Structure 1
Amino acid sequence: MKYFWTFFWTFLLVHMMTYVVSSMIGVKYEFQTATILSVGMTILLFIIPMILPEGPAEKESIH
C-alpha cells in the first residue's frame, strides 16, 4: 500500500509541477512526459532510503 500512495502523490505533484513550469516558460503541457518523470521520481524515492545509512554515525571520543 505504501508503494501505491507514494506513486499516487508523486504522480500528482510531478504533474502539477510540470504544468506550472511549462506554463511559465510558454511550452505545451505534455502528459506523457510528466508521467515518465513521475515514475522516475517514484523509483528514485524508493532507492534513496536504501543508500542512506539507517542511524546516526557513532562517534568515538578521543579522551
Structure 2
Amino acid sequence: MQYIMTFFWTFLLTEMLTYVVSSMNGSEFSFMTGLMLSILATIILFILSTLITDEHAGQH
C-alpha cells in the first residue's frame, strides 16, 4: 500500500507540475511526459528511501 500511495501522490504532483510548466511555456500539455516523470521520480524516491536508513539518519 505504501508503494501505491507514493506513486499516486508523485503522479498527481508531477502531472500538476507538467501542466503548469507547459502552460507557462505556451506549449501543449502532454500526459505521457508527466507519467514518465512520475515513474522516474517514484523510482528515485524508492532508491533514496532504501539508502537512507534510520541508522544513517542518527549519525548526522
Please report the TM-score for the alignment, with normalisation by the length of structure 2.
0.86
Q: Which structure has the highest helix share of the two?
A: 2
Q: In the superposition, relative to structure 1, how do residues 5 and 53 fare at CA in structure 2: closer, same or farther (>3 Å)?
A: closer
1:1-42 CA-to-partner distances (Å, cap 9, x unmatched) read: 000000001000000000000100111110011100000001
Equivalence map 1:1-63=2 (5 Å)? 1-55=1-55, 56-57=58-59
Following superposition, the deviation at residue 54 of structure 1 comes to 2.6
Q: Which runs of 5+ in 2 are unaligned?
A: none
Give the structure with higher Rg (CA): 1
Q: Which runs of 5+ in 1 are unaligned?
A: 59-63
Give the Cα–Cα distance (whole angstroms) in 1 for the partners of residues 6 and 59 of structure 2. 28
Following superposition, the deviation at residue 53 of structure 1 comes to 4.6
Q: In the superposition, relative to structure 1, how do residues 8 and 25 fare at CA in structure 2: closer, same or farther (>3 Å)?
A: same
* Number of aligned residues: 58
Please report the TM-score for the alignment, with normalisation by the length of structure 1.
0.82
User: Per the alignment, in what secondary structure is the counterpart of residue 28 of structure 1?
Assistant: coil
Counting aligned pairs with the same residue, the percent is: 48
Amino acid at match of 1:22: S
